Structure 1
Amino acid sequence: MKVQHSMLDQMKTKNFYIIVVFIGATSLSLWLFNYPSTSFRVIVTKTHKQINNIKNLPSNMQKKSTQELSVDPVYLNALGFSDDTVLIGHKGSGQKALPVIATSVEPGKLEKTVNFINSVRKYMETRRLVLVDLGVSKAEKTMLRKNCNSTWNCRINILNYEKYPSHVQYLDIQSYRPICIQELLTEYGAVMWVDTSLYFTNSKINESLALAQASGIAAWTIQDPTSSLTHPKMFQFFKTKPDEFYFHRAVESSHLVIYNTETIHRKLMLPWVKCALLEECISPTGAQNVGCNYLRRPLFKYSGCHHYDMSALNVILGLLFDFEVSKYSSSEKIFGAVSKDGMNYTTPQFKLRSVS
């Protein structure tokens, strides 16, 4: 019985001390808040001020890091964007050979590439052709060499992915295209870029070349406005908004004529390359190129399909030319297209969709 009473007394004593400590802590807290020291008041005040400052930050400041085209200068210097860069009009073979014709060769698309090469040999035999190898197999390389060699002014370049951010290897977002074009502009001074999904149907390119020489670029418009093919987040990188592009007709990036003028170098290629090198710009979170909603109304609203390098190019063109598409839009019918079923079409295929 004595043992039981002793344990009971100990428990009562323990509970008593707990209550005393609790009351003491509560009293101290109340006193501090009612009669705080100077240092304590300063700490609390500053803490609340910092919290309020963070809450009241403008949304554009909170997202500044995702809105800036901040790229490592090492990449830009390697691509010819250093302060001491000297722009060239041509290299080696004279102005009559400009622009050089160039395309990229993706793995598994050798048949289209050979079809394209044959069209160049038929209609553009006096011009140099440059094929950019994006990582084809050894067997494909062998076939490329058979079809492209120095005997008829054709050469093969290899895109060195190790020189650039890792996302450049993702061919579906096509960040490689502005990089390849810039490399060629640095070397030759003028480029006619044509994807292997197209091919030449004639040699009548004088109008397009004259336009490109005057404006720095010639491109082919489609019916869709830029706002419908561009993820809303991309506009933030160029300090603009989608509604500015509701009635701006987009152009394809699959076929372009570009001359390396000072304006094109600094105001078109530089921001285009910067965006290509920055994954969040070229491929914003949530962007995709499938599941397009072409039945939406109004038609200038975002379709749900982002066109990566093409979207960036059109935003830049709109800002650079003050939304006057006629300054760089060519109407010459030069190309045929290869459809997904492999059939060739001599009628140029420029539309992405029909607009009713």
Structure 2
Amino acid sequence: MRAFCNRLKKYRALEGVPYRLEIYRMVDVSESRTELMRRHCPKQVEFRTFDFDEYPAYVRMLFQYRWKHLIIAQMLMESPLVFWVDSSVRFHNDPKQSIWTVIDFAKRPESLNVVQLCDTGHKIFPVTMKEMFMRFSYPEEQTKKLNMCAGGVILWIRSPKTINILKEMVVCSLEKECMAPKGARLHCDSTVIKMGNKFAGCHRFDQSALSVVLSKEANFDLSRYAYTEGELTFLKVERGT
């Protein structure tokens, strides 16, 4: 988190822009630890603790990621734009590209007003259990053609489109076997994950659900919900730094 905040403070595209940095604590974090993070983060930082007591017990299973779109839905009620990023994201100053590039992309008339920014390198089908396709009445063959986008970097603009999308995501998050069909696990068979037409024996939970919901809403047109204008240079995912 220190590296994320240090880089964000140096990101010039947000200078003078009124924004809030919301950091959610999913587990108990001491006040001393919180204060240490606060010292490294921009002055706009706010720390929140996710209230698991408001939800069914299975929402506490962190690696099913049910909490993610519950948070995003809440944030989009409070703010007209939400940029969800993992702490592994690093912002880079680039005169040719910035967060405003993505905001403009999300505002196109044909856009769903949501933009996923990182490609996983594989299709939806290998990493999504068939029960999820059935749950959303989704044509399975389409998932063998469509790339899956990562769930860690997504920009949302509040609109009737995104409100409806998030309603579906919240319902799925709270429905026990929608987000996590029986037998769902994260670990994939690495020998087949790149094969678009073979199941890799794993499930990506929120990432799978969002891929299904967005692509169906977009009539399977990736450009309506994912950045398709070339390489992203203003941010990178840099784990372990």
- With the shorter chain as reference, the TM-score category is 0.7 to 0.9
Q: What residue number does 2:35 align with?
A: 142
CA distance in 1 between counterparts of 2:163 and 2:38 reads: 32
Structure with larger Rg: 1
Q: TM-score, normalised by structure 2?
A: 0.86
TM-score when normalising by structure 1: 0.59
Opposite residue 213 of structure 1, the aligned amino acid is K
The verdict on how the C-alpha distance between 1:193 and 1:312 changes in structure 2, with shifts beyond 3 A counting, is same
Match of 1:280, SS state, is helix
Residues 114-164 of structure 1, C-alpha deviations (whole Å, 9 max, x = no match):
111112111035332111111232143232333347xx2221122111111
2:127–2:193 CA contact under 8 A, matched in 1: no
* CA drift at 1:308: 0.5
| Partner SS, residue 253 of structure 1 | coil
Q: Which runs of 5+ in 2 are unaligned?
A: none
Match runs of 1:295-314 below 5 Å: 295=192, 298-314=195-211
Which residue is 2:233 aligned to? 333
Residues 174 and 235 from structure 1, CA distance in 2 versus in 1: closer, same or farther, beyond 3 angstroms? same
Alpha-carbon separation, structure 2, partners of 1:158 and 1:322: 37
In the alignment, which residue of structure 1 is the partner of 2:79?
Answer: 188
Whole-Å Cα distance in 2 between the matches of residues 194 and 170 of structure 1? 20
Q: Distance in 2 between matches of 1:294 and 1:236?
A: 26
- Partner Cα distance (1:273, 1:280) in 2: 13
Which letter does structure 2 place at the counterpart of 1:337?
Answer: V
For 2:10 and 2:194, the matched residues in 1 are separated by 45
Whether 1:212 aligns to 2:109 is: no
CA distance in 1, matches of 2:134, 2:122: 21
Q: CA deviation at 1:252?
A: 1.1
* 1:175 Cα deviation after fit: 1.1
* Higher helix content, 1 or 2: 1
Structure 1 Cα separation of the partners of residues 25 and 46 of structure 2: 10
Does 1:269 pair with 2:166? Answer: yes
**Count of equivalent residues:** 226
Give the C-alpha shift of residue 244 in structure 1: 2.6
Cα 1:324/1:168, change in 2 over 3 Å: same
The residue aligned with 1:119 is: 7
Q: Report the counterpart of residue 12 of structure 1 in structure 2.
A: none
Relative to 1, partners in 2 of residues 1:296 and 1:333: Cα closer, same or farther, differing over 3 Å?
Answer: closer
In 1, distance between residues paired with 2:89 and 2:9? Answer: 14
**Native 8 Å contact 2:72 2:82 kept in 1:** yes
Pair 265,237 (structure 1): closer, same or farther in 2 beyond 3 Å: same
Q: C-alpha separation between the residues in 2 aligned to 1:254 and 1:234?
A: 20
Aligned with 1:177: secondary structure?
helix
Q: 1:117 to 1:243 in 2, by over 3 A?
A: same
TM-superposition CA deviations, 1:290-347 (whole Å, max 9, x none) = 14243378533221121100000000011100000012222433322233xx2x4xxx
Deviations 1:207-249 (A, max 9, x none): 2111122321111233311111211111121112422311011
CA distance in 2, matches of 1:300, 1:170: 30
| Counterpart residue identity of residue 235, structure 2 | F
Structure-1 residue corresponding to 2:20: 128
Q: Aligned AA for 1:196?
A: S
